[in-house]
Every structure is written in C-alpha cells, then in structure tokens.
Amino acid sequence: MCGIAGYLGDVRSEAEGRAVLGAMIGAIRHRGPDGTGIVAEEGIGLAHARLSIIDLAAGAQPMASADGRLEITFNGEIFNYVELRAELLARGHRFRTHSDTEVILNLYAEMGPACVERLNGDFTFAIWDRPARTLFIARDRMGVRPLFHTTRNGVLYFGSEVKALLAVPGVSAELDPIALDQIFTFWFPLAPRTAFKDVLELPPGHTLTATADGRVAIRRYWALDYPDAADADGLDQRPDAAIADDVRALLEDAARIRLRADVPVGSYLSGGLDSSLITAIARREVSDRLRTFSVGFESAEYDEAEQQMAMVQALGTEHSSILCTTADIGRVMPDVIRATERPILRTSPAPLFRLSGLVRDSGFKVVLTGEGADEVFAGYDIFKEAKVRRFAARNPASTWRPLLLQRLYPYLPRLQNQPQAFLQSFFGRPEDAADPLFSHLPRFRTTAGAKLFYAAETRRQLAGYSAMDELRSLLPERFARWHPLSQAQYLEAGHLLPGYILSSQGDRVAMAHAVEGRFPFLDHRVVEFASRIPPRLKLRSLREKHILREAAAPLLPKTIANRVKQPYRAPEVAPFVGAGAPAYVADRLAPGAIAASGLFDPVAVGRLAAKVSRNGEVGFKDNMAFLGVLTTELWLDAFAPARSSAPPRSVAAA
C-alpha cells in the first residue's frame, strides 16, 4: 500500500517536473512514510510514497522492467502474485525482486492492458510504456484503492488523493455544487465526479490510457452483474449445504492470500458475524498469536465490546481496543474531513480514523476486515426494509403490514414510538414500487433534507438538476431484469460501497495513519460467486445473510453466527453540542461564516443549530443536515480557506 502521483505532458523542464512531483508526493506522504521515489523525463513523471509490506529490501518504486521499456508506480497489493510469478517464470520472464510490483510489469509486458483481468487485488497503478509513449492507469474492480486525475494546460496529472493534485501550480480547490447535491442525496458523489470541480475519479473496474499527443481513453474492464430474475439457469441450483461449503472455501482462500506479507498482519474484530468469520479463518492460517483490534463506545447503543471479547476468548487472539468518546469524535472531525476530502453526513469515519491510529501505534501496517459482506451477501437492514415495503405496497390499505418495519429496527427507540400513519407515509408509498431506486428512496429522501439549507445562489446553480435522475440514467440496461434484492444490492455494492464505505470509512481514514485494510469479502471470485446465489438464500424471510451464516456456523460460536446484525454506528450530533463542543463548531456555523462561504442560508442554518443545541440527537434528517452543513464548512476550511473566510466572530454574531 502506497501513494502514487504523476503527470503526462510537457512541463517546462525536467527540474520543474521533479519539483512538481516532489510537491505532489509530499502532499500524500502519510500514505507511504517508508520511502519516496521520483522518475522524471521528457513529457512524463512518476512518483511514489512507499508503505513497505512485500519485499521490504528490493520493492522500491517507481520500478522499471528488466529491459527498461516499462516504468510503474503502484498503490495496493496483488494477492495472487505468487501464482502469477510462477507462471511468468515458466514462460521465460526474468525477475530481479520478489515483489508483486514486478509481477505487474512482466504481466503487462506479455498481455498489455488485458493484464488487469488476471489480477486478484486491490490496486491502482500507472505504467509508462516508453517505446509506445503511452501511459496506462488501472483501478481495481471493487474500488478499494482510489485514483484521481485532472488536466491543466494540456498536462494530465493523477494521484492517489486529491491533495496530490492540489500541489500542482494552478490547481485550486473549488467545491462542485452538483457533487455537493449528490453527497446530500447518496452520501457520496457519483464517479467520476468528485467534490472538487474539474477533478475526476477513475471509476472502479476501469482503465485510463493516455498518449503523449494528448488522447485519453477510459474503458470499463469489469462490472458487477446478476442473473435475470427469470433465469433459473443463471442461479446456483445446488443444495444449500453445497453452496455454503463453497462460500466458506472461497472465503478461506481469499483470506489466506490476503495474509501474504513480509510484515505482521492483524485483523479488525467488531463483534459481528463478518469480522468474526474473517478473524476465525485468519486464526487458523497464522502460526503466531493473531493480533486483533476493535473500537468501543461509551454508550451501550453503539458499543459491541461484549461480543468482541467473546470472540477474543473463543479464538485466543491478542487484542487491543480503543474507546472512542463523543469528545474524541468532535476533536478529530477536521482531520477526518481532510482525510476524506469531501463533506460527510455521518460521524462513522471518525472512530475508524482513531482505530487505524491504534493499529499503527501498535506497530502494524496491515489488517484484515469484514467489510463488504453486507453488500455481497445482503446483510443491511435496507434489504429487509425494501422487502417489507414491497409487501406493504401490494396492499396499501393494510393497517398491520407497515408495523413490520418496527421489528427491523429494535435499536432505534424513536421509530418504535412512531404512529402507523408515519410508518405508512415514510416507508410505504405504493407509487414508489415501480421506481428502479425503490429500495433506497427512504434513505435518499431523508438525506436530501440537508438541501433545505441551501442558499438562494446554490439553489439557482442547481435549478433543474436531479441527483436521483442522474443515478437512474447510470443504471445498467440489465438492471430492470434483476431480482429486486439484486437491484438493491447493486445500489449498495456498485455505488455506496466504493463511493462511501471503501473511501470515507475505508482507504482514506486508514491510510491517514499508513494502515492498509484488506477485504476478503471483496475478492472478485467471492463477489462473482455470490451474485449467482439465489436471493432466497441471502435473505431468507427476514434473516439476513442466511447462506453466509450457514457457511460460518462451523467456525463461530452460535451466539455470533446467529446474532442479528447491529449496524456500525456512532454518535451523530452529540459530539458537536453542549459545553464540550469544539470551538470550531460555533465559529464555522456563525452567521457571518455561513454567509462568507455562500453555500447555505445563514438564517436556516442558525435555526437548525439552535434546534440541535437544545435537543441533541433530533432525528435522522436533521442530524444529517447538521453534519452536512458543518462538514462542508470544514471542507472549505481545509481545501478552500479563501472561500470560507469569515469576519471576526463578534462581528458575525452581530
């Protein structure tokens, strides 16, 4: 795991190119504190910040092929590099290192851009082909590792984080209002759009090929897909036990190859099914005592320490945990926003930011995680909710069907007290049933409450734009033929997962502390196999991840294997109100500061801040609106301070 940066195009001199590369890679040195490297020649520059994990002595980058024809800068890991290296050696390729980086070079030399189809890994890399004068950039299938690019004065610049691009002279940060509107709908901007105007993200499963004469081509090489709902032959029709056995075997191999490293590998342990299963598999593979890490909370509403310790005792791991207080969340939020590089509407990234700090302080660079299981095997409440809503929509007059929704959220006491009329209006609009976004409409509409606080100018810029219409236009042609559960899974795995979970809660907060997360559930073999499992085996009645639970049963205590999912959550607005609120909250939400940024209505924001201050946690819509406004202002502070400058606080208050 590392940070990469580079450019393709004419700069004034090699010295200037080296200076730009130094600034770019210096801006993301936190991703790779173990060393840096730069290659600059006419019309091309590559830079690398190294987090040394494989072949510690000889894996420095940028790395050239043995014949000098190719040069690579690479972020990530290729987990099947051992097998690929053996194949390449048998076909006559030469190796000077034992790194996975050199495997990519030799595979590209043999296959060209098609090499990505042989790679099992989490990666972004850029290869400069000197004879062809061509730059080839690739991103992994599921979008675990990020890659951003922009063009200035005819030069293509790229980097693992936008901070690298902002180090280029002439590149400045400007918030894209359409991206903000998408974040205030989906929690993330729709790739390739980013929060930064004129900065693009290379989407998951895509490659970018650029030539020295300025041509750029972007191609998709992999896409998440599901069988048609009516296509029984496309589904796995074997007995349940046989499917469960194959799920377990695939996960065991996915975890096994993700333990490959020349440094110790630990594991996150949340106390839920997913991380417990991965940790149990890893425990059988390692010869030493496995190190595990977890985060806890003050409130029992969020804390899973009891389940975490049960798994520690069952597996005999050496465990470390960190308590994340509400004050901690408020304290680190500015750092979190600088890491995520976008506004966020949940505080969930903050505890994970602190957890990765614990991992690094414990001397570890690599951890396994159970992330991805909910998307791949249908574990989220939103899948059950959509099933109940469809059931209720078939009989809109029913008075009892909407009440089933209360059973889905026992951990949300406010929902238990809502009248039937509220449940029907919020969850059960019959006219929604034909909408391709049906499963997610309640979430999107709740999130969109943040848009009520736009300033008049922001509304004008967004006049006629619909984020949900844009998402509908991006859905694959086959989407309408999929089973409703597969449709909902696609929205989670194809969009929310790379757009938010793997970004704001994954790569960005972990790599802020130079910690690499590895995701066995996102091995493309697991993802492709799971897509062919009949939906009834993923969501059986209202039992989420049924087939995964069956696969996990031989490896886990029954209390964990059968435990109803508790979604990962953290205190939302409590860290930002009351006597212990950080000083920046009042500063950034003061009327003068809001007016200076120009994105939100100072009066409306003032009313929201007062409501939150009086009542604390006030409900999903207001909580997310409050956090959306606050973190947008923090984003401006971090990346566009001139836009967010405000008069002194006393003047603003007046």
Dump pLDDT digits (tens) for 203-247.
999 999 999 999 999 999 999 999 999 987 789 999 999 999 999
- Res 183 pLDDT > 70: yes
Give the pair of three-digit tokens for residue 428. Answer: 């059960």
What pLDDT, on a 0 to 100 scale, did the predictor assign at position 422?
64
> Regarding the domain with residue range 2-175+195-220, which homologous superfamily does it belong to in the CATH classification?
Aminohydrolase, N-terminal nucleophile (Ntn) domain (3.60.20.10)
CA 161 to chain centre: 13
The answer to whether the 2-175+195-220 and 239-376+507-561 domains have the same CATH topology is no
Q: Who wins on pLDDT, 1 or 548?
A: 548
User: How crowded is residue 118: how many other Cβ atoms within 10 Å of its Cβ?
Assistant: 16
For the chain, the first-to-last Cα distance in angstroms comes to: 50
What pLDDT, on a 0 to 100 scale, did the predictor assign at position 391?
84
For 441-479, how does the pLDDT look when each residue is reduced to its tens digit (9 = 90+)? 999 999 999 999 999 999 999 999 999 999 999 999 999
Give the pair of three-digit tokens for residue 654. Answer: 């007046």
* Local structure of residue 644 (DSSP, 8 states): H
Q: Where are the domains of the chain?
A: 2-175+195-220, 239-376+507-561, 574-653
For the CA atoms of 53, 54, 60, 64, what is the dihedral angle to 10 degrees? -140
Q: Which of these is catalytic: 1, 2, 491, 510? A: 2
Q: Cβ distance 74 to 51 under 8 Å?
A: no
In angstroms, rounded to a whole number, what is the distance separating the alpha carbons of residues 625 and 194? 20
Grouping H, G, I as helix, E, B as strand and the rest as coil, residue 241 is: helix
User: How crowded is residue 414: how many other Cβ atoms within 10 Å of its Cβ?
Assistant: 11
For 314-366, how does the pLDDT look when each residue is reduced to its tens digit (9 = 90+)? 999 999 999 999 999 999 999 999 999 999 999 999 999 999 999 999 999 99
Q: What is the mean pLDDT of residues 386-397?
A: 81
| 210: Cβ contacts below 8 Å, ≥ 6 apart | 8, 134, 135, 137, 156, 216, 217
pLDDT band at 416 (very low <50, low <70, confident <90, very high): low
Edge-to-edge strand list for the sheet holding 216-220: 63-64, 70-78, 121-129, 134-139, 206-211, 216-220
What pLDDT, on a 0 to 100 scale, did the predictor assign at position 397?
66
For 123-142, how does the pLDDT look when each residue is reduced to its tens digit (9 = 90+)? 999 999 999 999 999 999 99
Cα three-residue angle 142-145-148, rounded to 5 degrees: 110
* pTM for the full predicted model: 0.94
What pLDDT, on a 0 to 100 scale, did the predictor assign at position 288?
86
What pLDDT, on a 0 to 100 scale, did the predictor assign at position 568?
86
> Does 2 qualify as catalytic in the annotation?
yes
Task: Kindly report which listed range (146-150, 281-285, 335-339, 413-417) carries the lowest average pLDDT score.
Answer: 413-417
- Res 651 pLDDT > 90: no
What pLDDT, on a 0 to 100 scale, did the predictor assign at position 652?
32
Q: Could you tell me which CATH class the domain 239-376+507-561 is placed in?
A: alpha beta
